Chain A
Amino acid sequence: MKKKTFPSFLFAVLFFLLFTHVEGVRADDPPPGWLQEAARMAVSKYEMKDVPAVVLRNEETVSVSSDGTVTRVRRYAVKLLLREGREEALASVVYQTDGEKVRDINAWLIRASGTPKYYGKKEVIDIALRDNDLYNEARVKVIRAVGDSDVGDVFGFETTTEERTVFSQFQFSFQNDLPVMYSRFSLNLPSGWRADSVTFNRDKVEPVVSGSSYTWEMRDMQPIPLEAGSPSRSSVSPRLAVSFFPTQATATQIKTFANWGDVARWMSELEDPQMTVDDTLAGKAKDLTANAKTELERIRAISQYVQQIQYISIQIGAGRGGGYRPHTATEIFAKSYGDCKDKANLMRAMLSVLRIPSYMVSITADDSTYVRAEWASPHQFNHCIIAIKVSDETKAPSVVTHPTLGRLLIFDPTDAYTPVGDIPEDEQGSLALIDHKDTDALVTVPVIPAELNRLDRNVEISLGTDGGITGKLNERTSGQSAALERGRSRRLSSADYNRMIESWISRGATGAKTSKIETRDSNEDGNFNLNVEFSAASYGQLMQGKLMVFKPAVVSRLDRMSFTEGKRFHPYVIEASTYSESVKIKLPVGFGVDEMPDATNVETAFGKYSTSYTVSGEYLTFTRSMKLNRSTIPADKYDSIRSFFGRVRAAEQAPVVLVKK
């Protein structure tokens, strides 16, 4: 299978290039003054332990000429504080082969002893940035000095790139996760041009302005620790967004965006002409919906077709906005493959055949907090979905009401596992742009209620006198829980999926053997069903010949969440979900219940958890349920999460004691 073999081949080559020792070539070249100066800086002490490295200088200078040529000079210096910090001894510059050139890339290592080492052209590795795309003009040049470096060394690099672009906006991260002592972004514009800026995640950084030159800077930034359940990095690290505006007379090819209306119009001008329809495409749309009776059924039929179109990405002409323009719908239909905007475009074209209006929607995938309203820019988006205009007859939690376009059903045709009516978790609550000329503001993508993202499980167990069990399990998931299960079942081969289920059952019931694993995926309601039959010897432990102890939570005990760190720096983000389970256990002949755990009821603002135990005749029924609300818990309320999940854990570990009658 080529697809699998290729990455391993590539990896082997990259491994050879990146992890083999790099020899310097001009050891006698002195590092530039700015780097020597940075290397002399006294490093701060940080409250957080184990900081691997500190960034001494993080600087980018952008110079724009009146013909639209943009020259960027980046300077970066980092001091390595721990062995793990050696990974930071890496210079990189991303560029587009279409219209952008890396004029220069140089790096230096100043050892703790003061001895410098130079890295130049011979050490540069030029790599395709995205290995998975069929074609992508984005590349990265890298110099890696990891093998040479050690604790106490300072690594620095300087890159110069030049491009011709239609864009007039820049983003700059003052910091990632390492502490930074000095960070600066400078913009030099032709005379008379002006710039505006927005600062994210910090108070506004005001520029120092000198004529048409602007400089924004920050100093002495503390490290940003990586913690489980944290908000995304883009929500916590300080970032700068800058837009510049030429005078009327110059640089007419440069596209400026004063507000979201500008962005929406520009996007729709790129996208709308691509929504082509021919007879074949129209015929297919009609065939697919021949049996659909309602508007929602028609949309669902088209959505399912587009979802199964292969995701293939071909990125050309990004510097000229090519990254935002889909292929024509007829071309995508003929080839049966495309990327996110292609899929949205094809769906839009097919819906148009049915006279259902729809619009392309720009959004950022994988991070619902990334897009900010205060900076009107297409650069905030990396993904494209669709908004379908629906009548009042279509009811779905994914419908949003737009002030001018009316009721819009939001849908992501690239996500093959989330059906119409639901929205991928990482897009819920995100700001997004409807790419239509009448749009002048972002919309908020609906958040699907916790009740619709649920897992309901029924387990029937028969417990033998020797402690062995046989059981049947039925699990029904909906919403994003179903999407998760659906994704697993489709991404894995059936053998691997069965292995995964076997392992899952075995985690709760050691040595379990599964005799039946069945799944049923409902296109109509979006639910996913799993049925498993299993058995396990010695599930209950016999003691003293008269007691039998067992845990009634046989599968998926919620005991894997841990909150061991005493202190937390960031808030904890909880996604909305609902879970319930009923376990009906037939008790072994001759045994009665001696002891049962007490019922549990824990309720907080962010969640609710309860368990119950009842005995009726020869059956014991155990129930548990949990509902988590979409919340962000402040770091100073960390104890409330620890306490909540600590009680959940204790309840799920609690055993039942049977005694021989």
Chain B
Amino acid sequence: MNHVFTEHRSCLVSFLSALVLMMATTAIVGQDKDWRPVTTEELQMKTPKVDAAADAEAMFWEVRVDDSSPDELALANYVRVKIFTEKGKDDFSKHDIPFAKGTRIRDVFARVTKPDGTTVLLNKDDVLEREIVRSSGLKIRAKSFALPGLEVGSIVEYRYKEIIGSAQADDMRLIFQRDIPVENISYFVKPYSGPGQSAMGYYPFNMGNTKFEKDKGGFFRATMTNVPAFREEPSMLPEDEVRSWIYLYYAPELPKADEYWARISKMAYENTKGALKTTDEVKAATAQAIAGASTDDEKLRKIYDFAKSQIKNTTYADKVTDDEKKKVRESKTATDTLRIKLGSAGDVDLLFGAMARAAGFDARLALSGDRSELFLDRTVPNYKLMLGSSCIAVKVGNDWKFYSPASYFVPFGMLGWSEEQQLALITDPKEMIWQKTPLSPSELSMEKRTGKFKLLEDGTLEGEARVEFTGHRAAAHKNFNRGDSAAEQEKTLKNWIRSNILNTAEVVEFTIENVSDPEKPFVYTFKIRVPGYASRTGKRLFFQPNVFERNSKPRFDANARKYDIYIQYPYSEKDDVTLELPPGFTLENAEAPAPIKDAQGIGVHQTDIGVSKDGKTLVYKRNFSFGNGGFIRFGAASYPVVKNLFETFNKADVHQMTLRQTTVADGK
């Protein structure tokens, strides 16, 4: 935690703040009207300094955030970019500055300094203003300009001021890592200096040793140099966990983390006390729901099932009427939720908590981070930044367990993947209770595939298959198909089958089960015919016994990687295939790929191949799991090892077998 300023202000126009936040990623300004001189060295620069392969590189990028006025927030940017390639020229040829009602864009200047040193200034009349969108209560306009005389080797500069009325630099992100490399990027921040108690603080993320330091004119300055461009990579951490940025906020005081979270814990506990109250109605419903349950686990499961099945979760439901929405808005407590049989996702969780209490458990609201956005760091005392999710913590015996029937497609005993393995604050009036939510093991998120196929002499494959998903994999499929018609769901899955098996696959007699069921596995079955499945030579037929992996590729194919590898959750796959071989052919090899397992057993791959006694049927079994032991994050340095491991898995999956023709088939 860092604090640089002590000031005050209270009001925040949330939409405008959000807009400021978005604009701050692009904005510009300059108080002076004079351009800083371009040096000969800059002009003659032929290759980028930060990234030799860059198309364009910012020589400097400055943003002045002036929050000293009580009435407005002023952002002033000044950016200088060197263009190295045609693509860089394309990227910087046009510039748009969007702004909302209440915001003024002033002093827009731009110039291009050509490689020969001549400059072309942007004509004032060439700054065009247009309305992007207008609707009831909202108007977004944009000032746009094209940079004149732009060519490769040019230096582009632009600056402008953005004055946002009734806004302040609270809950604001300063983005240091941009889409292009930057030699030097600075944010200058001048906090509000009027009367009051609030202080401005900041939290740096992935910023190294960069801090705000006092600068001239009441500004504080934070600078980073040689910042590479931000680029997404497959299977990476959420952007906020890797990109360089600073979070600005105002607070009435500069809190110590433990004291802050203790206060949040207490406040949340007190605020949910009423909602979690065990009224007679809740008690009666609970008694009925848990009738016949003898163990704690059984009771909680029945309550969990009740909350999911008896309450319409309006966050997930397909059709929610205006009347239902109104009722949900007016509902305040678990008892209300129970009465109207309706609730938002949060209401469903609270009802579960209240009923758990009614069943004799200690149940509390637990506040956690969201792994898909930003991990909870308890040393950062800021709930807006850190708390991305919530669930219900229930004390079972001596242990706290976590539940969230609000996540409609997540089965009992699991949380949504982004809520798992997160630090959670179990609300309490007196003490801070931090506990990590568990990570579901790989076997709970399984793709189980069974198939009975027949290989024809010409290489065509025919047969039927069943594919079943559980846990997080089922939830992902159900969410993806949610809201689609049966026809569309079938189309989606057929395309998926074709991309996994072979795009010549003709898929018929398709069924999908449990698309909308909250807990049952997501299942689909189909019959398939795949011309050209096996390759034929003069006397042999080559085929891949794992039909389901016919088209699979290794998870990673890039030669290098910058960021850590991050797998959302542990998962597993189980295949069971029988394959009737064509008459007149015999297996030339029945070797199975060797088992694969890394030293820690994070990834395990086992294949068994057998042949029926009559030699006519091949039996293929595969078990694969990854993320075992809770290992789902791997350092960038270990990329070659992880990549190689997945290539080895893939090699085993696409293992080929050979049939040799012994006689000419007579069809008998």
Chain A residues within 8 Å of B, Cβ to Cβ = 1-6, 9-10, 12-14, 17, 23, 49-50, 52, 82-84, 121-128, 131, 134-136, 139, 150-151, 308, 310, 312, 314, 334-337, 416, 490-495, 499, 502-503, 506-507, 510-511, 513-514, 537-538, 541, 543-544, 547, 549, 559-560, 562-564, 566, 595-598, 646, 649-650, 653-655, 657
* A597 CA / B537 CA spacing, docked (Å): 5
**With contacts A12-B22, A126-B134, A510-B651 known, is A1 near B91, CB below 8 A?**
yes
Q: Tell whether, in the assembled complex, residue A510 and residue B131 are in contact, meaning their CB atoms are under 8 Å apart.
A: no
Which one, B2-10, B138-146, B195-203, B279-287, is touching chain A?
B138-146
CA distance A541 to B53 in the complex (A): 37
B484 contacts A by Cβ under 8 Å: yes
A10 to chain B, nearest CB (A): 6
Do A17 and B133 have beta carbons less than 8 Å apart? Answer: yes
Q: Are B136 and A3 in contact, with the CB atoms below 8 A? A: no
**Tier of interface size on chain B:** 35 or more
With contact pairs A128-B133, A595-B540 given, residues A502 and B559 touching in the complex (Cβ less than 8 Å): yes
User: Contact mask B525-562 → A, CB, 8 Å, 1/0?
Assistant: 00000011001111110100000000001100111000
Q: Is the CB of A337 within 8 A of B656?
A: no
Interface pair A499/B558, CB less than 8 Å apart: yes
A654 touches B91 (CB 8 A): no
The verdict on A6 contacting B96 (CB below 8 Å), with A310-B146, A503-B557 known, is: yes
Complex CA–CA separation, A566 to B85 (angstroms): 48
Report if B54 contacts A (CB, 8 A). Answer: yes
**Additional pairs, 15, CB under 8 Å, beyond known A83-B488, A541-B655, A541-B656:** A1-B91, A3-B93, A84-B485, A126-B131, A136-B130, A308-B86, A310-B89, A310-B90, A490-B87, A493-B53, A507-B553, A543-B588, A543-B656, A562-B503, A564-B506
Contact A543:B148 (CB < 8 A) given known A3-B91, A126-B135, A150-B319: no
Please indicate the chain B residues that have their CB under 8 angstroms from the CB of A541 in the complex: 655-656
Cβ-defined contact, B553 with A125, below 8 A: no
Is the CB–CB distance between A549 and B94 below 8 Å? Answer: no
Verify if B213 is at the interface (C-beta below 8 Å from A).
Answer: no
- Tell me the B152-181 residues at the A interface (CB within 8 Å): 178-180
Closest chain-A Cβ to B220's Cβ sits at a distance in Å of: 25
Residues 223-246 of B, flagged 1 when their CB comes within 8 A of A and 0 if not, give: 000000001000000000000000
Chain B nearest Cβ from A406, distance in angstroms: 35
Partner of A650, one of B136, B532, B540, B591: B532
What are 17 A-B pairs at a CB distance below 8 A?
A: A1-B91, A2-B26, A13-B138, A17-B135, A50-B491, A52-B485, A134-B128, A134-B144, A134-B146, A310-B89, A337-B146, A499-B558, A506-B554, A511-B554, A511-B644, A597-B538, A650-B459
Q: Are B26 and A5 in contact (CB under 8 A)?
A: yes
Pick from A491, A596, A646: contact of B531, CB below 8 A. A646
Once A4-B91, A50-B491, A127-B133 are accepted as A-B contacts, the answer to whether A13 and B654 lie under 8 Å apart by CB is: no
Report whether B149 and A3 are in contact in the complex, using a CB–CB cutoff of 8 Å. no
CB distance from B174 to the nearest CB of A (A): 14
Contacts of B540 in A (CB 8 A): 595, 657
A139–B135 Cα distance when bound, in Å, is 13
Specify which chain B residues have a CB less than 8 angstroms from the CB of A544 in the assembled complex: 588-589, 591
Q: Which 9 residue pairs spanning A and B have beta carbons closest together?
A: A562-B503, A83-B485, A511-B647, A6-B96, A506-B557, A50-B487, A5-B26, A82-B485, A125-B135
Most buried by B among A124, A308, A541, A564: A564
**Looking at A84, A122, A416, which has the most chain B CB atoms within 10 Å of its CB?**
A84
CB B390 to nearest CB in A, in angstroms, measures 23
Contact of A82 among B56, B487, B505 (CB under 8 A): B487
The answer to whether the Cβ of B132 comes within 8 Å of any Cβ in the partner chain is yes
Q: Is B151 an interface residue (CB 8 A)?
A: yes
Q: Which of B577-616 contact A (CB under 8 A)?
A: 588-589, 591
Cβ contact within 8 Å between A2 and B95: yes
Interface residue? B483 (CB, 8 A):
yes
A50 contacts across to B, CB distance below 8 A: 485, 487-488, 491
CA distance A343 to B150 in the complex (A): 15
- Cβ of B23 within 8 Å of any chain A Cβ, yes or no, is yes
B25 CB-CB contact with A under 8 Å: yes
A52 and B491 alpha carbons, distance in the complex (Å): 13
CA distance A596 to B536 in the complex (A): 10
* Cα separation A499 to B53 with both chains bound (whole Å): 13
Known contacts A337-B148, A595-B540, A6 near B136 by CB under 8 Å = no
Interface membership of chain B positions 90-110, coded 1 if the CB is closer than 8 angstroms to chain A and 0 otherwise: 111111111000000000000
A595 interface neighbour in B95, B98, B138, B537, Cβ under 8 Å = B537
Q: Is the CB of A595 within 8 A of B488?
A: no
Is the Cβ of A653 less than 8 Å from the Cβ of B532? Answer: yes
Mask for B48-59, Cβ within 8 A of A = 1, else 0? 000001111000
**Roughly how many angstroms separate A17 CA and B644 CA in the complex, as a whole number?**
46
Interfacial chain A residues near B134, Cβ < 8 Å: 125-127
Nearest-CB distance from B334 to chain A (Å)?
Answer: 26
Q: By the criterion CB–CB under 8 Å, are A513 and B133 in contact? A: no
Interface flag for B498 (CB, 8 Å): yes
Residue B41 CB within 8 A of the other chain: no
Please name the residue on chain A nearest to B136 by beta carbon.
A122
Instruction: Provide the bound-state CA to CA distance between A134 and B126, in Å.
Output: 10
Taking the closest CB of chain B, its distance from the CB of A79, in whole angstroms, is 15
B271 contacts partner chain A, Cβ-Cβ < 8 Å: no
Binding site for A on B (CB under 8 A): 22-23, 25-26, 53-56, 85-87, 89-98, 126, 128, 130-136, 138, 140, 142, 144-146, 148-151, 178-180, 231, 319, 322, 459, 483-485, 487-488, 491, 498, 503-506, 531-532, 535-540, 542, 553-554, 557-559, 588-589, 591, 643-644, 647, 650-651, 654-656, 658
Main secondary structure of the interface of A (DSSP, over half): mixed
What residue of chain A has the Cβ atom nearest to residue B89's Cβ? A310
Residues of A within 8 A of B591 (CB): 543-544
What's the least CB distance linking B232 to chain A, in Å?
A: 11
A151 neighbours in B (Cβ, 8 Å): 485
CB neighbours (8 Å) of B503 from chain A are: 559-560, 562, 564
B553: which A residues are within 8 A, CB to CB?
Answer: 506-507, 510
**Complex Cα–Cα for A655 and B134 (A):** 61
Contact yes or no, A549 B542, CB < 8 A: yes
Contact indicator A547/B132 (Cβ below 8 Å): no
| A265 to B651 CA separation, bound complex (whole angstroms) | 67
Distance between A388 CB and nearest chain B CB, rounded to angstroms = 24
Q: Which residue of A lies closest to B54 (CB)?
A: A493
- In the assembled complex, the Cα of A334 lies from the Cα of B146 at a distance in Å of 13
Contact status B86-A3, CB under 8 Å: no
Beyond A493-B55, A506-B557, whether A312 also contacts B651 by CB under 8 A is no
A135 CA / B94 CA spacing, docked (Å): 11
Known: A9-B22, A310-B150, A490-B87. Contact between A1 and B180, CB under 8 A? yes
Please pick, from A12, A135, A337, the residue contacting B144 in the complex, using a CB distance under 8 A: A135
* In the complex, residue of chain A having the shortest beta-carbon distance to the beta carbon of B175: A5
Are B98 and A312 interface neighbours, CB within 8 A? no
**Bound-complex Cα distance A308 to B542 (A):** 51
Q: Report how far A175 CA is from B56 CA in the complex, Å.
A: 46
A514 near B559 (CB under 8 angstroms)? Answer: yes
Please, which residue of chain A has its CB at the minimum distance from the CB of B651?
A: A538
The reply to whether A562 and B654 contact each other, CB–CB distance below 8 Å, is: no
**Residue from B25, B85, B130, B151 in contact with A135 in the complex, judged by beta carbons closer than 8 Å:** B130
- A121: nearest chain-B partner, CB-CB: B136
Question: Chain B's nearest CB lies how many Å from the CB of A180?
Answer: 20
Residues of A within 8 A of B535 (CB): 650, 653-655
Q: Are B128 and A125 in contact (CB under 8 A)?
A: no
Contact B532 A562 (CB under 8 A): no
Check A336–B151 contact: CB distance below 8 A.
yes
Bound together, the chains give a CA A250 to CA B137 distance in angstroms of: 44
Contact present for B146 and A595 (CB under 8 Å): no
Query: Which of B132, B150, B231, B650 is A13 in contact with, Cβ under 8 Å?
Result: B132
A residues near B558, Cβ cutoff 8 Å: 499, 502-503
Q: Given the complex of chains A and B, what is the CA–CA distance between A6 and B27 in angstroms?
A: 10
Q: Are A654 and B536 in contact (CB under 8 A)?
A: yes
Q: What residues of A have a CB within 8 angstroms of the CB of B656 in the complex?
A: 541, 543, 549
